[in-house]
Amino acid sequence: MALLDVDLFSESLLVGTSLTVTLPQATTAQVGVEPVPVPADGWPVLYLLHGLSDDHSAWVRYTAIERYARAAGLAVVMPAAGRSFYADEAHGHAYWTWIAEELPQRVAEMFRVSGRPDDTFVAGLSMGGYGALKLGLTHPHRYAGVASMSAPVDVHVLERPERKELLHRVFDGRIPPTADLEVLLDGAGDAVPPLYLGCGTEDKLLHANERFAARVEDAGLEVTTDFRPGAHEWGLWDAMVRDVIAWLPLRTRVRA
C-alpha cells in the first residue's frame, strides 16, 4: 500500500485542509504482501470518516486499515472534518459542501480511483458514522454501500446541556430537517444502497441504533446489523471496520 498525507486548499472551506489516503500498490517484491492487480477503471474507493474528537489521521493511527484495504484492493480516503457533524456549520466552515461535493472532485483529479457509483462506498465511526449515513441518505445514487459504526443516529442527542456549544456553533441552536437521519430516511425512498449498522452492546448509543435499524427494515430497505460486545472505543472499531470492508459489495475482490 501507499500511504499519503495530503495537504490542499479547499474552495468550500476557504482554507487549507488535510486528507490521509491509502492506495493499493501493484508490487511483486515486498515481503509479506501479495501482488495487487490494478483495475482498468481505477481502484474502488471508500470514504472513511472520523469521529468527533479525531481527525484525518485517526483511522491509520488506531487501526490496521491499510492491511484490511490492501487485502480487498480498495483505496481509502480519510478527510479531516473537525467537530462539524458533517454539516455546513452555522458559525464556522462549510464541511458538508467540502465532504459531499468538493472532496470527490479533488480525489478524482488526484488519484486513480473509479468514478462509478458501484465502486464508491462511505463509512465512519461515531460522528463519522452519522456523516456516512447522512451522505448515503442524501445522495443514495452515489454509493454502493454505506456503513456506520457506533453512530449517534439520533442527532437530537446534541440538544443535551453538555453539547450546547456544539449545537449552537454547528446548527445555530436547532437541528434542521436536513440533519435528521429519520427525516432523510423517510424521504430517500427505495434508492438507498445497502446499509451496515454496527454498535457495541455496552455503548449508550446502542438502543438508538437498534431503533433506527428497525425503521430501516420497516421501510423495506437492505440492512445488515452488527451489535456485538464492546464499548465506544478503538478495539471495537478496528475489528468492525475489517468486517465492514469484507461486507462491501465490491465488483472484484483481491482476497477474501
Q: What is the pLDDT of residues 105-155, one digit of tens each?
A: 999 999 999 999 999 999 999 999 999 999 999 999 999 999 999 999 999
Give the range among 25-34, 197-206, 216-225, 245-254 with minimum mean pLDDT.
Answer: 25-34
**Among positive and negative, which fits the CA dihedral 143, 144, 150, 156?**
positive
User: For residues 18 and 21, what is the distance between their CA atoms, to the nearest angstrom?
Assistant: 10
Query: What is the rounded average pLDDT of the residues 249-256?
Result: 69
Q: Tell me whether strands 15-23 and 75-79 are parallel, antiparallel or unpaired.
A: antiparallel
Q: What is the per-residue pLDDT across 175-194, written as a single tens digit (0 to 9) for each?
A: 999 999 999 999 998 899 99
Res 256 pLDDT > 60: no
Query: What is the rounded average pLDDT of the residues 199-212?
Result: 98
User: For residues 144 and 116, what is the distance between their CA atoms, to the nearest angstrom?
Assistant: 9
CB 171 within 8 A of CB 179: yes
Query: What is the rounded average pLDDT of the residues 200-229?
Result: 98
> 81-96 in b/e burial notation, b at 16+ Cβ within 10 A?
bbbbbbbbbeeebbbb
Helix axes 234-247, 65-72, angle to 10 degrees: 10
pLDDT for 25 equals 84
Q: What is the per-residue pLDDT across 80-97, written as a single tens digit (0 to 9) for each?
A: 999 999 999 999 999 999
pLDDT for 70 equals 92
User: For residues 135 and 209, what is the distance between their CA atoms, to the nearest angstrom?
Assistant: 17
pLDDT for 9 equals 98
Percent of the chain with pLDDT over 70: 97
C-alpha 128, offset from chain centre: 6
Provide the mean pLDDT of the chain.
Answer: 94
pLDDT for 253 equals 61
> 35-46 in b/e burial notation, b at 16+ Cβ within 10 A?
ebeebeebbbbb
Res 200 pLDDT > 60: yes
User: For residues 196 and 136, what is the distance between their CA atoms, to the nearest angstrom?
Assistant: 11
Per-domain residue ranges of the chain: 2-247
Res 250 pLDDT > 60: yes
Query: What is the rounded average pLDDT of the residues 37-63?
Result: 94
Res 254 pLDDT > 70: no
Q: Tell me whether strands 45-49 and 15-23 are parallel, antiparallel or unpaired.
A: unpaired
pLDDT for 36 equals 73
CB 48 within 8 A of CB 78: yes
User: What's the topology of domain 2-247?
Assistant: Rossmann fold (3.40.50)
